[in-house]
Amino acid sequence: MKNKEDHDTMINKKRLNKTAVALTMAAAVLVGSLFSGPEDITGGNMQQILEPEPIVMDIDSFDAEVQDEEPAPEEAKKNGIKARIRAAILAMPKWLRYVVVLPLWALGYALLLLGSFLQQTVLAPFAGVIVSALIGIAAMIGLFAVTAKMLFPDMPWRKIFSKGNLIALIVTGAALAAADVIVPRYYSGYPYVAAAVKLAAALVVINILLARLKSFAEKFA
């Protein structure tokens, strides 16, 4: 009994640690996106932020076109939330901004830079493959779900989308998307038959999965 309690306690601690790490990274990214530099946090530009210079405008120079430039309600609401969070951070004691907010900003700024770098260098060449894979996986899952529910209307979704079935569908969709990149390098005629190959492979996998569901339905009928 004690060993079980110790095991549960260890699992809960691991979950709490993972949650804390995720929340810390999310807060860091948020803070990193709110401030352009450490001087905005530590108070170098505090006076300018809290008491900006007034801007004098000539109202008569505005015409009807200015109304078209107003931000959408969703964007204005989003900017308003960011402004309130930024103001709340700037209202914190200076020592707290140094001890807590500044390290969070450094971490968030580094994560944002890393994400931008990966997007431009690593992920960009594979963006088409990733999108193609996601579309193929979604199409296979949709076709399998509709066919399975039509053949076995009483079978619960939990059984239709079992872990094994989902893995088979995802792996097949990803493999077919990868084939679009790899096979043409060795067989120039593949693009002309790619659609037929994908359809045939999808039907084979889906029929195998449907046969497994049929066996399960017959077994527990």
Mean pLDDT by 10 residues, the chain (221 residues): 66 79 83 83 56 48 46 58 84 87 88 77 70 84 88 86 90 88 86 87 90 80 59
What is the DSSP-derived secondary structure letter of residue 37? S
Instruction: Indicate whether 167 and 215 sit together in one domain.
Output: yes
pTM metric for this prediction: 0.47
> Count of domains in the chain?
2
Which residue range(s) make up the domain with 203?
A: 125-219
Q: Both 94 and 201 in a single domain?
A: no
Is 131 in the same domain as 180? yes
pLDDT score of 168:
92
Distance CA 159, CA 178 (A): 28
Tokens of 96: 């707290």
Give pLDDT, residue 221.
Answer: 59
Q: Which of 95, 123, 151 is the C-terminal boundary of a domain?
A: 123
Q: Of 77, 94, 123, which one is at a domain's C-terminal end? A: 123
Q: What per-residue confidence (pLDDT) applies to 167?
A: 92
Q: Which of 138, 158, 139, 160 is nearest to 149 (CA)?
A: 160
